[in-house]
A and B are shown apart, each in its own frame.
Chain A
Amino acid sequence: MSDAAAAAELAARASYGRLVAYLAAHWRDVARAEDALGDALVAALETWPRTGVPDKPEAWLLTAARRRLVDGARHAGVAAAAEADLTLMLDEHADDAGRAPVSDERLALLFVCAHPDIDEAARTPLMLQTVLGLDAARIGSAFLVAPATMGQRLVRVKAKIRETGIRFEVPERREMAARLPAVLDAIYAAYGSGWEDVAGADPRRRGLAEEAIWLGRLVARLLPDEPEALGLLALMLHCEARRPARRDDAGAYVPLREQDVARWSRPMLEEAETVLATAARFAAPGRFQLEAAIQSAHAQRARSGAADWEAIALLYEGLLRCAPTVGARVAAAAALAEARGDEAGLRALDTMPADAVAAYQPYWALRAQLLKKLGRTGHARDAYDRAIGLSEESAVREFLMARAAEMR
């Protein structure tokens, strides 16, 4: 790749979200903002190799993108309201085109993506595309959706933002508590989409974990007084720190309690602890802080040699009060089994509704393990089969088959 192409790529990656957010906020049209910036990037790749890379590539891209928007609007005959905006935008930058710092509208854009009027399933894909510039094929792969379908969903949701006139603004203080969880949930969903691909066998999926952490850092920086934003960042860092330990050298699956703590990333664990401690100073616990605290209690094994299961079980009790998801209930049962015995864990699993767990792999994997330890071999074998059949990863299937075979 030539220097110019590399510089264009670099400028694009560094400023894509800022520029899309800025243009979309002023134009109130996400799709057009993306198209204009896309055109500007193409123009840059054509122009820069001849003219050299400009001093401020971001400003160049913004000017070029704005010109596209203006041309496009004139061509289409814009509505009066948009024209007014357009004039304002041009005035703002008339004297020092690009030299004025671009205001950071990314937080407003994130709140648009996670707006109550936007379908919950569309929120994370929308964030990944608008703020990070990921394409529909990559987002589709991460969320197990056909690329064409994902593309159509994104087009529809952007049209909805334009048509319903969702405002590009960060909610006021009093609204924040109601609106922030949707933003954090969407970011965590992006992280979760990369979670299953433990081995990093699929770099396209593994990438989303890093992208989600990037978004988590962004929100934590832009909203430094929101403990839950810090909690989410701490949670993702804790999980990510363990990624290298989740497979052994032969690629075999290693469950959390058997992981070699030497393979956990110390810098990431330390950062997670620092961020969580900062969140705790606000004395306003919430779902993500509790989840991060649970991971912190697991991480204690790296310091003291043993995880504090009683503390973990108590933290899960707290978590279930504010976020009783299927995943949290299964994890809580696992903690209960460690802290108070396998029977207690199994009883917790028994209280879960059958339809909620029919296709939930972790439920069957835990159930199988507890039944096996309790010597109920027949039922254990059945549960192992169910867990194996619901697994998406061959490493996990092989692990479960080996455990089931130990019963013969």
Chain B
Amino acid sequence: MTLGNILEWLIKGFVWVLILLGGFAYLTYYERRALARIQVRIGPNRAGPFGLLQPIADAIKLIFKEEFMPARADKLLFILAPIITLTPALVITAVVPFGNEPFTLFGRTITWQIADINVGVLYIMSIASIAVYGIVLAGWSSNNKYAMLGGLRSTAQMISYELALGLSFVGVIVLTNSTRLIDIVEAQRVYIWHLGSLQIPVPMWNAFLQPVGMAIFLIATLAEVNRAPFDMPEAEQELAAGYHSEYGGMKFALLFMAEYDKMIAICTIAAALFFGGYLGPDLSGIPLIGGFLKYVQGPFYMFLKVFILLFGMIWLRATLPRIRYDRLMAFGWKVLLPLSLVLIIVSAVGVLAAQEFSRHLFLVGIPILSLMAGFVAILGIYQSLRRKEHARA
């Protein structure tokens, strides 16, 4: 470990944190504009061209607000909680690769990844679990029963959905035979299927191989980052903003920032694990700018995928009402957890069958089995709902 190495990590980390902070600011803008369009409004359009300076205006407002603290709050934890919440959200994406074409700068080969560790998925899992501490401490230290309830709900919800989330990671690990994120992304490269004389290119995205696993991952991450329809910890209507109801000014902004940075982080991870990460149509063949595009196409595809996934989250928020708490728990424990266990078996059987017989079984068998498992789960939900209807009638 040389000084140059440490400096490289520091600079890369610093740049990525800056990108996340800027991304947070403009994600709030993106969300407000997209939500407004869905609700047939225009959204913020006054500050600067197209309202682009709105996040800066918000930031200035929050910075100049009074730092208020409830009288009998636990002072140390009250100040520490937003920091504990934000830090995991910032560091969780350190292992995600943003491109595969290293470039040379000042005689050093620089990769598009902050830390290339071989247990990347485990790292993501462990950091994701830490995130709950900040929220529950914020709720508890405020000395407010609504904040406390928000913190408690958040703990229960995040621990419950972490299981399904972790198991959907396992499905990916089984399919790609690695916990290193760059290997996981590389395993999703386009595969040319020779069908007689036909050559069919198949993108081996894990989202296609394991569609139900992808759905479980997306649902569980929604619950992990407390987004609608799983936003009970915040629940403006019943808990008065839940765990951050006593926070104001920059301390609130940190909690808010953590939430939105978690959204970005989770979409980045989803893009890497299930949607082929930085892979996409090769643009380096384009004349003149092809040489430059060769380096930036990876980050560009990554950005595009994250952007679309973020829209999905906003779209779901605009569409779905908040789910009832017992239903949330029942869904997490009785549907997602067994289903993700079944999907691991499906993936494992598919991988073994592909080794034994033909690689094409891998491409066809796993998605079909996975969809069948998903169908059985929906059947279960349907019957349970119908039983409830009968009981009511």
Are A and B part of the same complex? Answer: no
Residues of A within 8 A of B (CB): none
